[in-house]
Structure 1
């Protein structure tokens, strides 16, 4: 079965997200834990959460992904920004305990001319201060396109973060197709080679999710602009090879393409038709 979904708004509650997923024939989805451009989060309603968990159990939704706000920058040169990142992630992981066994994804951040090593140290220090042995959520580092001073533009940078985290069993990676293509990993012409490189450096057993996006920009552009599936430089055929690849097909795939709900429904239908598995 293809585990495919999209990014859904949590503004109307958790149960509403579950119902929206069913409307578009999705069996996974992603949501922001709070305002993606701010820091406020709605108070958790346990009944609302239970309603979502019931929908998931009854409809075969095995895993969902929470996404940290874009404003979270764990390796900023600004101490207050780093403190904000610490507070947000700490709170998010507490909130995720209401949804045990799921995933929490975040952008490693931008080191803002401090240097990659300094930035990685800040990220590692934050994760080591936040992660708990008894938490039920796996935290994912997202592969990045490498614009500006972003960390996570290479598998080596992600590996260095993972190696520094004490509770490594609480960590993993989310591969974004637009980001890795824009970063210079040729998933169109050499998908096997890219996966072999990922496996050699990070290990495919550490890959837990895929953001499925086409790219508005050409290969190795370091731009990070998502496009609808089949309308960008990656293309529908390459995306179809990704969802059908034996090393990837078991993972949850989440669309972050520039779409409204009806557009996501169309893409989900298209990709399910392109899927060659059961």
Structure 2
């Protein structure tokens, strides 16, 4: 059975998130480690975490994909904002050890007129400060759509970050279907070719999770506007191929579509119904 879920609000703690995932029919989910537009994190209550871990075992919730806040920019031109990003990631990685063996996804950042090479170097510097061989969390670089001065607009930029990082066994990639489509990769018409290119440039062993989002815009638009599954330019047939592709099928699929609980429940059930058996 595919591992699929959506972003769930972390405002009520781990056990509440787990119960919400079960209610939606999910067996994986994502959550923001703190306010996605700010820096404050909810206090972790060990008894709440233990209750969640028991629920996860009972309900076979197989993977958490924590998401760093959007305000984190590891390659900002402002040294204070880079320090802010470093402090957030350091704290998040400590907190995630309460739920060991999961993923921490982040947007690489925007270089803001410094150039992608400078941005890549700054992101790698932060990762080299923070990644430790003993941590259980795998940190994931997210593929980006290329709007503005985003770093990670293509596979080569992510590879350049990876090449500069020392503890690479704790580093992976999360592929966002909307982002790669908007970035110019034809995952609707030529999925095999895109995955072959990913493997050539980065290596499929680095791909740990997929954000499944349709796109409001044509391929190569560099816009990053998510749509509900089957209601955008990527299309429903493409998502059937994506979730069943042998290189992707066992990865956690996380919905970030513009939806509510009822809509996510429908999307999870719809994608699960498209899974090929045997």
Q: TM-score when scaled to structure 1? A: 0.99
Shift of the alpha carbon at 1:229? 0.4
SS at match of 2:63: coil
**Whole-Å separation in 2 of the counterparts to 1:167 and 1:103:** 15
Aligned to 1:209, the other structure's residue is in SS state strand
Contact 1:24–1:261 (8 Å) recurs in 2: yes
- State how far apart, in whole Å, the 1-side matches of 2:153 and 2:240 are: 24
C-alpha distance in structure 2 between counterparts of 1:134 and 1:6, whole Å: 29
Residue of structure 1 in register with 2:25 after alignment: 25
Q: How does 1:1-278 map to 2 (within 5 A)?
A: 1-277=1-277
* 1:215–1:233 CA contact under 8 A, matched in 2: yes
Aligned partner of residue 269 in structure 2, secondary structure:
helix
Query: What do residues 227-273 of structure 1 show as CA deviations (whole Å, max 9, x unaligned)?
Result: 00010000111011100101110100000000111110000010011
What count of residue pairs does the alignment treat as equivalent? Answer: 278
Query: Unpaired runs of 5+ in structure 1?
Result: none
8 Å contact kept, 1:6–1:30: yes
SS in 2 for 1:257: coil
- Provide the rounded CA distance (Å) in 1 between the counterparts of 2:149 and 2:206: 24
- The answer to whether the Cα contact below 8 Å between 2:77 and 2:112 also exists between their aligned partners in 1 is yes
CA contact (8 A) 1:140 1:171 kept: yes
CA offsets 1:180-208 (integer angstroms, 9 cap, x no match) = 00000000110000000000000001100
RMSD: 0.6
Q: Any idea what SS the aligned residue of 2:173 has?
A: strand
Displaced runs of 4+ in structure 1, greater than 3 A?
none
Q: Distance in 1 between matches of 2:41 and 2:64?
A: 18
Q: CA deviation at 1:277?
A: 3.0
Q: CA deviation at 1:60?
A: 1.1
Secondary structure of 2:39's aligned partner: coil
Q: Distance in 2 between matches of 1:69 and 1:143?
A: 16
Are the counterparts in 2 of residues 213 and 257 from structure 1 also a CA contact under 8 Å?
Answer: yes
Given that 2:13 and 2:44 are in contact with CA atoms closer than 8 Å, whether structure 1 keeps it comes out as no
Residue 24 of structure 1, CA deviation = 1.1
SS at structure 1 position matched to 2:135: coil
The question of whether the paired residues in 2 share the 8 Å contact of 1:64 and 1:103 is answered with yes
Which 5+ residue runs of structure 2 have no aligned equivalent? none
